[in-house]
Amino acid sequence: MSKELIRLSNLSMAFDGEYVLKDINIYFNDKEFLTLLGPSGCGKTTTLRIIGGFLKPTSGDVYFDGVRINDVPPHKRMVNTIFQKYALFPHLNVFENVAFGLRLARQDGKKLGKDEITGRATEMLDVVSLKGFEKRDVTLLSGGQQQRVAIARALVNHPKVLLLDEPLGALDMRLRKDMQNELKEMQQATGITFIYVTHDQEEALAMSNTVVVMEGGEIQQIGTPEDIYNEPKNAFVADFIGESNIVDGIMRADGLVEIFGRKFKCLDGGFEPDEPVDVVIRPEDVDIVEPGRGKLTGTVISITFRGVLYDIIVDFAGFRWLIQTTDLSPIGTKIGIKIDPDGIHIMKKGPFSGMYGDYSSYSAQYDEISDAEHEYEPEEEERNYEA
């Protein structure tokens, strides 16, 4: 069982009276790769800076190994930070950048010997695949190489925790993907706890053991990448993590939800009979069938080629869905859709309901299906939802 390393307890942060973090409670385990994920302004970087000691919270506590560290300065915490701008020393070569922290006196006042400094710096350069670059000018390195130097400099002091604030933001897409894999391998090899901040959901899912989704200064959901993607807790998480069609529905009974006046089997339960709910359907979980074989029928209005598949926007009486498929359906084609029970995810209504999931403008039918009392007449179903 993993050991708890850091805990944030009832943590809040305000700037000029405006709260950017609101009563955060979370813990971080030893040897964990955890990602704080969310849009700009959600509070993820503020959380990271509080853990690093660069900010003192307005209220609440930070614990490290069970000890309160609110008043401990950054240089006395067993934590190192890598920022988006690597802040390398331009007047020092690669080796000296990595060895810089080792040459400083430790907390006990002692200094490391020359041989130990050389050995540890060389070993770390090997870990980040920069062996042979010791005497290179850091200003002449590529972006990916500069990032490796920054990582080596941060890890060479053997911190308990490495904080990474969007360190891949300045890299091109191919290099970002390469570095994602390398960071994951480094974390596994060193056993150091990584706390990573990003707004890139693909990056978070690919690298992390645990993902913390944040919005509005609050934690919306914590879980494994699989849990976050497959079982989002609210409409914000469903929309932010991947693409989602989020529609209003009515939970008629356990395992049976009504969407657009049609009943679909699902795997969820525990709701009140006829309870209004949010229904999440991922684009890849929708199968295109002949109009007569689908429970819903719509018209293809947009096609985008994505290489291995097509993104197709389909209009269902004004509510537009995104469907991802390898089969091309030309614009104007009438199609039916089929959704298996495990492709339908049910969420309780919340503050984010009605804000996400429609790939068009607001629809009149959207209001109607959000009303559990609304009853569809057969003629109305035929007119609105079939070709």
- Whether 187 and 288 share a structural domain: no
- Whether 22 and 110 share a structural domain: yes
- Whether 88 and 219 share a structural domain: yes
pLDDT over 60 at 370, yes or no: no
Q: Which of 205, 230, 255 is the last residue of a domain?
A: 230
Query: Is residue 238 assigned to a domain?
Result: no
What integer best gives the mean pLDDT of the chain? Answer: 87
- Whether 215 and 251 share a structural domain: no
- Whether 220 and 258 share a structural domain: no
Query: Is residue 340 assigned to a domain?
Result: yes
- Whether 221 and 121 share a structural domain: yes
Q: In which region does residue 346 sit, left (phi positive, over 0), alpha (psi from -120 to 50) or beta (all else)?
A: beta
Characterize 69-95 residue by residue with b for buried, 16 or more Cβ atoms within 10 angstroms of its Cβ, and e for exposed: beeeeeeebebbbbbeebebeeeebbb
Each residue of 260-269: pLDDT tens digit? 889 999 999 9
Residue 63 has φ and ψ, to the nearest 5°, of -115, 135
**Hey, what amino acid is at 240?**
F
- Whether 185 and 276 share a structural domain: no
- Whether 145 and 194 share a structural domain: yes
Query: Is residue 373 assigned to a domain?
Result: yes
- At 161, is the pLDDT very low, low, confident or very high (cuts 50, 70, 90)? very high
pLDDT at 330: 92
- Whether 336 and 221 share a structural domain: no
Each residue of 285-297: pLDDT tens digit? 999 999 888 889 9
pLDDT over 50 at 197, yes or no: yes
- Whether 274 and 300 share a structural domain: yes
Residues of the domain holding 289: 244-385
Query: Is residue 237 assigned to a domain?
Result: no
pTM assigned to the model: 0.82
The number of domains in the chain is 2
CATH number of the domain to which 315 belongs: 2.40.50.140
**Lowest-pLDDT range, 6-15, 47-56, 96-105, 282-291?**
96-105
Each residue of 64-109: pLDDT tens digit? 999 999 999 998 899 998 887 778 899 999 999 999 888 875 655 5
Residue 209 has φ and ψ, to the nearest 5°, of -80, -35
pLDDT at 166: 87
For 9, the enclosing helix (H) or strand (E) is strand 4-15
Q: In 10 A of CB 358, how many CB atoms?
A: 18
Q: Which of 230, 262, 291 is the last residue of a domain?
A: 230
Q: How many residues does the chain have?
A: 387
- Whether 165 and 253 share a structural domain: no
Provide mean pLDDT across the span 221-234: 94
- At 14, is the pLDDT very low, low, confident or very high (cuts 50, 70, 90)? very high
- Whether 88 and 128 share a structural domain: yes
Residues 6 or more apart from 231 whose CB is under 8 A from it? Answer: 223, 345
Query: Is residue 235 assigned to a domain?
Result: no
pLDDT at 318: 83
Provide mean pLDDT across the span 21-41: 95
Distance from chain centroid for Cα 89: 32
CATH number of the domain to which 128 belongs: 3.40.50.300
